[in-house]
Amino acid sequence: MHILAAQINPIIGDLKGNTQKIIQAIQRGRTQQADLVLLPEMALSGYPPEDFISLPHFLKSIQVHLEEIISATSGIAVIVGLPRQSQKILYNSAAFISNGQLIEYIDKILLPTYDVFDERRYFEAGDKVCVHPFKGERIAITICEDLWQHSGLLQSTYYQRDPVLELKKENPTVLLNLSASPYSVSKFDKRAAVCIQAAKTLKCPVILCNQVGGNDSLIFDGYSVHVDSKGIIQQAKGFVEDDLLVSLHEKSVHLTIKRDPIQDLYQALVMGIRDYFEKLGFKKACLGLSGGIDSAVVACLAAEALGPENVWALYLPSRYSAPESERDAQRLAQNLNIKFQILSIEAPFESYLSLLAPIFEDKAVDITEENLQSRIRGMLLMALSNKFGYLVLSTGNKSELAMGYSTLYGDLCGALAVLGDLTKQQVYALAHWINRDKERIPWYTIQRAPSAELRLNQKDSDSLPEYKVIDQVVQAYVEEHHSPEHIAKKFDYPLELVQELIKKIHQNEFKRRQAPPALRVSEKAFSVGRRFPIVQRWT
């Protein structure tokens, strides 16, 4: 039997467009003589559809489009993911369609409701596993998380059921999985291990068809796979739409896959930017280049994602900007062949200072004046955005967001925070990777000590511990939920330091709440999936 796993990139809510993509996949399946076309989880609605599935007229429209898909399946079978309603209860389901007939719905049993997932907000759990006889095979159909519990790789869930184990007594000859499994660094290896574990237990091949594409903060990497108990047999491309044509039970060679996690990270961010713009109907981005590493990396990613002709870099110096900053910003723009412009913020800065002088009187210069500079830059970028239809890219990283080392309505301005889920050290790693065969980012930008240049000779290290320390605490506390005591002991840091950093993380919740959405690349991003109150007194 031949199965075409169609790794498509749906747009949330675009039922018409997604239906077309699904029907085109069916046609490709037919052309390639597939017996069955497998599509991702929620392929029809896009994932995650969020509160759209609370709208009754949205659900009605899902039904109308499902009918259209069914009528396009003459002579072929299709398994497609969608929300379905039965007696007012909603399920996250797969429709098994064959030759113009809806054969059956299969409902997702394990509903992830942690981090970025909210499935129990919308859905009830499916009841039973079952195996579907089709062309001599016994096909088990599962949806995303249903495959994961069996692997033991889910850390923080306590599901009462293990659908893979339950399927064992049904003796499937192949297991199909519809996924919308988001990217995070090294997630692919985990996902492949999950499939191989199921293949071992069930003694049959596993085909996982994953969604690809960016939806707001979430990046779906694709990388659909065909595995057996011994390893990966086939793998679709990452970060693009792709088909995997599987000939079941043929003698197969196993792939040895070594992927560079930094290259994946780069591709993930590029796709995240590209899809955010394309799906919103924008083409052009502007950003402030500071001569520092963060904005340099964002410029490189934007040029790759949107084309250099669509990126406009502004160097916005103040009295505190070093000459090297201008030199490097300009050189970077030349290297990337992006539009470059210098616009001094001194005149508006002076104007604010003299307007406020009578009110500020003899108050000392402090963070107020630093924030003014950052906010003037934000305003100028937003003015260009408004006048010329560019979206502003925000350049802050996760370590800064954790510490609140950023200005609300200043450098936090923007439509998308490209590096908002990367630690400072990951930003450095990405910069080195970008420069792997030639200088794109000027080397001095990478080597200089980080500075916001908002006062004379300022260095980030004046107000913050080393980024290495911040990054470790952020990872241990934000991503791994360890206690301050555990963290202090693990890294041999003073407990007071760790407590102070954790306090800062919570205190700056108010800034992050108004920050642009950040592309998620870790298991726990600030932008989505981490939910803490602003008003609290735990720390």
Q: Residues with catalytic annotation? A: 41, 108, 144
The interface with its own copies within residues 84-103 (CB under 8 A) comprises: 88-89
* 379 is a contact residue toward its own copies (CB under 8 A): yes
Of 118, 193, 178, nearest in space to 143 by CA: 178
3 binds its own copies (CB under 8 A): no
- Residue 51 beta carbon to its own copies: minimum distance, rounded to whole angstroms: 5
Span interacting with its own copies, options 187-195, 202-210, 302-310, 480-488, rule CB under 8 A: 480-488
Instruction: Choose which of 468, 485, 495, 503 interacts with its own copies (CB under 8 A).
Output: 485
Q: Which whole-number Å values give the CA distances from 513 to 85, 207, 475, 499, 518, in the listed order?
A: 34, 39, 20, 22, 11
Number of residues that bind its own copies (CB under 8 A): 88
Stretch that binds its own copies, among 145-153, 191-199, 287-295, 346-354 (CB under 8 A): 346-354
User: 431 or 498, CB closer to its own copies?
Assistant: 498
Site for its own copies in 47-66 (CB under 8 A): 48-52, 54-58
> Degrees (nearest 5) of the Cα angle 173, 177, 180?
175
Among 23, 102, 245, 343, binds its own copies (CB under 8 A): 343
Structure tokens given for 502: 């954790």
Which residue do the tokens 């990872």 mark?
Answer: 475
Look at the block and give the residue holding tokens 């996760």. Answer: 398
- Shortest spacing between CB 166 and its own copies, in angstroms: 20
Part of the chain binding its own copies (CB under 8 A), chosen from 187-195, 288-296, 336-344, 438-446: 336-344
Task: Assess 14 for contact with its own copies (CB under 8 A).
Answer: yes
Distance, in Å, from the CA atom of 270 to the CA atom of 532, rounded to the nearest integer, reads 29
428 binds its own copies (CB under 8 A): no
Give the Cβ contact number of residue 201 at 10 Å. Answer: 18
398 binds its own copies (CB under 8 A): no
Angle in degrees, 0-180, between the axes of helices 424-434 and 467-474, rounded to the nearest 10: 110
Q: Of 282 and 428, which CB lies nearer to its own copies in the complex structure? A: 282
- Cβ distance 502 to 380 under 8 Å? no
Site for its own copies in 107-126 (CB under 8 A): 113-114, 118, 120-121, 124
Residue 324 neighbours by CB distance under 10 Å: 13
The region of 63-71, 438-446, 454-462, 530-538 touching its own copies under the rule CB under 8 A is: 530-538
* Minimum gap (Å) between residue 377 Cβ and its own copies: 11
CB under 8 Å to 397, separation ≥6 — which residues?
A: 294, 419, 420, 422, 423, 424, 426, 427
User: CB of residue 408 vs its own copies: minimum separation in angstroms?
Assistant: 8
For residue 352, state whether it binds its own copies (rule: CB under 8 A). Answer: yes
E strand map for 211-338: 212-215, 218-221, 225-228, 231-235, 242-247, 285-289, 311-315
Using the rule CB under 8 A, is 380 a contact of its own copies? Answer: yes
Residue from 153, 257, 357, 534 binding its own copies (CB under 8 A): 534
Contact between 280 and its own copies per CB under 8 A: yes
Residues 439-468 that bind its own copies (CB under 8 A): none
Q: What is the DSSP string of 458-495?
A: --HHHHS--HHHHHHHHIIIIIT---HHHHHHHHT--H
Whole-number Cα distances in Å, 90 to 53, 79, 419, 475: 9, 18, 36, 36
